[in-house]
Structure 1
Amino acid sequence: MAAHTTNVPDLELNNGVRIPQFGFGVFQIPEDDTADAVRTALEAGYRHIDTAQMYRNEAGVGEGIEKSGVPREEVFVTTKLANDAQGHDNAINALEGSLRRLGLDYVDLYLIHWPLPHQDKYVRTWEGFEELLRAGKARSIGVSNFQVEHLEELARRTGTVPAVNQIELHPALQQTELRAYHRAHGIATEAWSPLAQAAVLSDPVLTGLADKHGKTAAQVVLRWHLQLGNIVFPKSATPARIRENIDVFDFELADEDLEAIGKLDADHRTGPHPDTFRG
């Protein structure tokens, strides 16, 4: 496993592409603030930016990358397909729009944002993704919010295993069964809402571990994600918080710390359930 000078490790995806394990999310950052936030993150050592068509800030991401002066090949860029753009041709056309807004020739990772099983389109959508992968418009392709049954349907009907499944994952929703499926099938786990929208940060177990390690509760949770092997990308538009979040490579949680956090799993979601979410 290689490392950047920022100490952020890379993980190898199932197609050989390497992804920084720690990234920067831009969900809910307004378009006008996105460029400055991305530039701040890149200056702080982040090399992985996660956006989506539905976030409506892809242009700001592209502007922030350009203004940062960091070479394009050093920045791993993810975007996600909008829910109303599912289907083979729509998925292809939607990425062309993303590339125009981002000002890029390719993305490093393109994800189906939600399975939307009621639409019954995600298999055809994935076939469009496979074409984009072959064309070099996306260096790797994956999914987000897919359950085991959705992943198995892709395995039955298509030829490419997703490189990534990006799922809600935090101490109150640890997704043990789904993560085990990922490990067994070579799918990397990415965590969205890694801090449960701050809902878990006042938990006595986490505040106690923060005191023990001289860190914040948020830093403890982010370190937990890394030691589980998750890819994680906290979001903030505040420069001090952006820098604080990535300052998690100078300590390590002990086995008993990990065990204590493991007991916080309550199957509690902050977002919608993939089986019932309708976009």
Structure 2
Amino acid sequence: MRIPAFGLGTFRLKDQLVIDTVKTALELGYRAIDTAQIYDNEAAIGQAISESPIPRNEVFITTKIWTDHCTPEKLIPSLKNSLHNLQTDQVDLTLIHWPAPKLGINIAEIMQALLEAKQQGLTQQIGISNFNIAQTQLAIDTVGAEHICTNQFELSPYLQNAKLVNYLNAQQITATSYMTLAYGKVLQDPVLQQIATAHQASTAQITLAWALQRGFAVIPSSTKREHLSQNLAAQHIHLSPEEMQLVAQLDRNGREVNPTELAPEWDEG
């Protein structure tokens, strides 16, 4: 896997809250931080990492190019601005945040620009986010699968995206799961609660363990030290084949994130 299996998501975290959260996460053992230009927290995250005793070269930083910057002329300057905010000369991974078909983004052009950013040394690796199968194939046709580290998209027990996951597996591209807890909806699921009881764990931990065993990278978000620590400990939980099958049966196409102008036509099933 070319991307850490476990990281910290920072969506909706800003200012001192994200600074404190990132510092706590790094102290607990997190070594991957996921942000984006649109989150408006890159500068705060850069401050947190620079003030942490953890060396920069031990922290894997992912950021994402927002749709406003998805043109060949704007992508690299916007990434350089992100690097300035993050107080680093290079991020570890840069993603195209949304394919935004209704905004007329040219995927081939933008992937070529992203590859150029990699070739300039602005980012160690590149990838995509929220791309469906057809859009991922277009990205592969443009830059080659070997240059696409991951596709980051919504994945949870209630939205398992089997077609896209199977396609990515065949291409040897890692699936990164966001919204793994489905805005907390899975936490009250009786099947997950039953499995959690058997492991003396929380339903959040069971959900994250399921995703990790599926081979997904995960980036759960929390601001509480206790929850950050518990989430991290999910890496040490192993579910039986029977338990994995029980979770597989929870799939209900329960999508939580589907912005009209940004989202593609999803591959259902």
TM-score band (shorter)? over 0.9
Distance in 1 separating the partners of 2:46 and 2:139: 31
The one-letter code sitting in structure 1 at the alignment partner of 2:106 is K
Query: 1 or 2, which has the higher helix percentage?
Result: 2
Distance in 1 separating the partners of 2:27 and 2:55: 12
Distance in 2 separating the partners of 1:249 and 1:21: 9
The one-letter code sitting in structure 2 at the alignment partner of 1:41 is A
**Structure 2: gaps spanning 5 or more residues:** none
Across the two proteins, how many residue pairs are aligned to each other? 261
| Residue of structure 2 in register with 1:275 after alignment | 264
Report the CA distance between 1:55 and its aligned residue: 0.3
Conserved? CA contact 2:31–2:58, under 8 Å: yes
- Out of 108, 131, 148, which is 2:133 matched to? 148
Conserved? CA contact 1:44–1:243, under 8 Å: yes
Report the CA distance between 1:254 and its aligned residue: 0.4
Task: Please give the per-residue CA displacement for 1:47-72, whole angstroms capped at 9, x wherever unaligned.
Answer: 00000000000011111111211011
Conserved? CA contact 2:107–2:138, under 8 Å: no
Task: Please give the per-residue CA displacement for 1:15-74, whole angstroms capped at 9, x wherever unaligned.
Answer: xxxx22100010001223111110000001000000000000001111111121101110
Conserved? CA contact 1:87–1:122, under 8 Å: no
**Structure 1: gaps spanning 5 or more residues:** 1-10, 14-18
| Residue of structure 2 in register with 1:217 after alignment | 203
2:76 is the alignment partner of 1:92: yes
Conserved? CA contact 2:130–2:264, under 8 Å: no
The one-letter code sitting in structure 1 at the alignment partner of 2:71 is G
| Residue of structure 2 in register with 1:3 after alignment | none
Report the CA distance between 1:276 and its aligned residue: 5.9
Distance in 2 separating the partners of 1:249 and 1:115: 31
Distance in 1 separating the partners of 2:237 and 2:136: 35
Task: Please give the per-residue CA displacement for 1:182-210, whole angstroms capped at 9, x wherever unaligned.
Answer: 11112110001011110111010000011
| Residue of structure 1 in register with 2:21 after alignment | 37
Task: Please give the per-residue CA displacement for 1:64-96, whole angstroms capped at 9, x wherever unaligned.
Answer: 111211011100000000111111121111100
| Residue of structure 1 in register with 2:194 after alignment | 208
- Out of 52, 57, 69, which is 1:73 matched to? 57
Conserved? CA contact 1:194–1:232, under 8 Å: yes
Report the CA distance between 1:110 and its aligned residue: 0.1
| Residue of structure 2 in register with 1:181 after alignment | 167
Distance in 1 separating the partners of 2:144 and 2:202: 44
The residue correspondences of 1:94-133 to structure 2 (distance < 5 A) are 94-118=78-102, 119-133=104-118
Distance in 2 separating the partners of 1:117 and 1:153: 13
TM-score, structure 2 length as denominator? Answer: 0.94
- Out of 240, 249, 252, which is 1:263 matched to? 249
- Out of 217, 223, 227, which is 1:241 matched to? 227
The residue correspondences of 1:52-67 to structure 2 (distance < 5 A) are 52-67=36-51
Match of 1:108, SS? strand
Match of 1:247, SS? helix
| Residue of structure 2 in register with 1:6 after alignment | none
Report the CA distance between 1:233 and its aligned residue: 0.9
Distance in 1 separating the partners of 2:257 and 2:45: 24
2:157 is the alignment partner of 1:171: yes
- Out of 25, 34, 40, which is 1:50 matched to? 34
Per mean C-alpha deviation after superposition, the further-off stretch among 103-112 and 266-275 is 266-275
Match of 2:210, SS? helix
TM-score, structure 1 length as denominator? Answer: 0.90
